[in-house]
Amino acid sequence: MSHPTRRRFLGTAAAATLPAWFLDECRAQPGPKSPTSKNDTPGIALVGCGGQGQGDLGSAARFGRVVALCDVDDGHLAAAAKRWPAAAHEHDFRKVMERKDVDVVICGTVDHWHTLVSLAAMRAGKDVYCEKPLTLTIDEGKRLVEAQSKTKRILQTGSQQRSDKNFRLACELVRNGRLGKIKEVDVWLPEGRREGPFKPAPVPNGFDWDLWQGPTPAVEYVPERTHVTFRYWWDYSGGTMTDWGAHHNDIALWGLGQTGPVKVSGKPTVEMIPGGFTAASKYAVEYTYADGVVHRCRSTPANNWFGGVVDPKGQQHGVKFTGADGWIFVTRGKIEASDPELLKKPLPASATRLYASNDHMGNFFECVRTRKPPICDAEVGYRSVSVCHLGVIAMRLGRELKWDPMGEQFVDDKEANKWLAREPRKPWSYDAV
């Protein structure tokens, strides 16, 4: 038998479920309150009725009344209407914002619409649950944070791993020195799709291609650019780097208590097929924080793009914190450590505890009621997606970049700073929604 310390440093994983002390604590934490009267139930509108939007609405309907559905694809709208037949139908999200019966907007659109829809909602006095990745650019995040602070609306970002017990436990242990001084954090994200070339096709009846594209460059309709696979095009998203990075890089930042790195470098590790998906499907990015901690973020072939296991023996997507005294690996449904004792021992009463939420949508509606900040507010969503965007920019420029996390600019680097924003295609503008 190896000595425990040796075993710890050889990295033999000790698979673990959540420790009893932590589960007991979670049981004692009050959950979100269910509505008690009609006056207590906000009117909810869903903008973007695809798979995730409908999933979010199903969860939100526990806390309010579904009053409106909005999509630029009549087929998706009809599918949602089957589940919520009493709700009104809208084609243009600006009409949703004019409705007096809507208190809360759920934004389940494609990534390039998140900021404009959320800005419009907050300016119209609505609270917003916006899917991750919160923004398409770093500049958009600044606009959302500013608008949220000005309008005092509640904005929850859909990075729901913050409301997952495994991830909170990992971050609390890391923050309280259970692993000693943290040296590095490794993040593995599912590999993206590398397919193509794709052909233009006639725009399907009942689909508003121009409104779907909105602020992004106008191009011929290509089916693979739209539903679900939009995330593999730089025009609309950042590939799995932003899709999954908005979950796992968010946890890396939460555990480290960081808002941004001071250095980033990265590269795609495969060439994409001309005429096919553009966002890097395989990549390796490295961030360095001011305290010297290194954060590596790589794609892994062991998972498919939805996170399903392709190779059970390969490196699964997730986050691994490594410190002087051991490591913790955390992913959906699993937390393990170099030594089980690292998880088993309760945190002392004097420990720093993180925001506890065990129900992401419930936390949002609780905050709609109490006007307290939600667990994943605009600032959190902005900072987490910005780290992903920094990785994308480093990959696209192919060189090391210096970042000022306080000034939110690349240091003395005009070329890199150009990538912080994208000009919306006219007539769209951030001020006009």
Q: d(Cα 165, Cα 31) in Å, to the nearest integer?
A: 13
Among 48, 141, 239, 268, binds ligand NAD (CB under 6 A): 48
**CB 8, min distance to ligand NAD, A:** 33
Handedness of CA 128, 117, 79, 201 (dihedral sign): negative
From candidates 111, 186, 286, 366, binder to ligand NAD by CB under 6 A? 111
**If we measure between CA atoms, which residue out of 383, 373, 358 comes closest to residue 162?**
358
Question: Shortest Cβ distance from residue 420 to ligand NAD (Å)?
Answer: 20
Range in contact with ligand NAD (rule: CB under 6 A) among 7-15, 66-74, 135-143, 296-304: 66-74
Distance CA 47, CA 56 (A): 11
Which of 44, 69, 72, 251 contacts ligand NAD by CB under 6 A?
72
**47 interacts with ligand NAD by CB under 6 A:** yes
332 binds ligand NAD (CB under 6 A): no
The one among 42, 57, 67, 71 contacting ligand NAD by CB under 6 A: 71
113 binds ligand NAD (CB under 6 A): yes
**Measured between alpha carbons, how far is 194 from 187 in angstroms, rounded to an integer?**
21
| Smallest gap from residue 159 Cβ to ligand NAD (A) | 7
Which of 103-111, 179-187, 194-202, 283-291 is the region at the interface with ligand NAD (rule: CB under 6 A)? 103-111
Least distance to ligand NAD from the beta carbon of 392, Å? 14
Q: SS3 for 95?
A: helix
Nearer to ligand NAD, 324 or 432 (CB): 432
Kindly tell me which residue out of 20, 23, 228, 310 binds ligand NAD, with binding defined by CB under 6 A.
228
Nearer to ligand NAD, 245 or 326 (CB): 245
The residue (of 110 and 253) whose beta carbon lies closer to ligand NAD is 110
Q: Select the residue interacting with ligand NAD from 22, 69, 73, 386 (CB under 6 A).
A: 73
130, 360, 379, 419 from 159: Cα distances, Å: 9, 8, 12, 24
DSSP one-letter code for 303: B
Exactly one of 44, 45, 49, 385 binds ligand NAD (CB under 6 A); which one?
49
Residue 409 Cβ vs ligand NAD, minimum distance, rounded to whole Å: 26
Nearest to 380 by CA among 411, 357, 352: 357
> Please, are residues 365 and 42 in contact by the beta-carbon 8 Å criterion?
yes
331-347 burial: b if 16+ Cβ within 10 Å, else e: beeebbbbbeebbeeeb
User: For ligand NAD, how many residues bind (rule: CB under 6 A)?
Assistant: 29
Instruction: Give the three-class secondary structure for 267.
Output: strand
Site string for ligand NAD, 137-166 (x = CB under 6 A): ---------------------x-x------
Residue type, position 136, single letter = L
Q: Is 121 in the site for ligand NAD (CB under 6 A)?
A: no
212 binds ligand NAD (CB under 6 A): yes
**Measured distance between the N- and C-terminal CA atoms of the chain, rounded to whole angstroms:** 65
59/288 with CB nearer ligand NAD: 59
Beta-sheet strand order (sheet of 334-337): 14-16, 334-337, 326-331, 318-323, 182-190, 294-300, 283-288, 263-268, 401-404, 409-410
Q: Are 392 and 238 in contact (CB under 8 A)?
A: yes
Q: Which of 19, 41, 52, 402 binds ligand NAD (CB under 6 A)?
A: 52
**Closest CA relative to residue 130, chosen from 181, 63, 60:** 60
Six-digit token string for 41: 């139930």
DSSP, res 224 = G
Instruction: Single out the residue of 32, 64, 214, 255 in contact with ligand NAD (rule: CB under 6 A).
Output: 214
In the window 241-300, what residues touch ligand NAD (CB under 6 A)? 243
- Choose the binding region for ligand NAD from 107-115, 271-279, 361-369, 384-392 (rule: CB under 6 A): 107-115
- The residue nearest ligand NAD at its CB is 50
State which of residues 109, 163, 258, 331 lies at the interface with ligand NAD (CB under 6 A): 109
| The two three-digit tokens of residue 139, written as one number | 């500049």
Q: What is the rounded distance in angstroms from the CA atom of residue 38 to the CA atom of residue 45? A: 17
d(CA 207, CA 67): 22
The region of 7-15, 49-57, 271-279, 339-347 touching ligand NAD under the rule CB under 6 A is: 49-57
Q: Which residues of this chain interact with ligand NAD, rule CB under 6 A? A: 47-53, 70-73, 76, 93, 108-111, 113, 131-132, 158, 160, 211-212, 214, 227-228, 230, 243
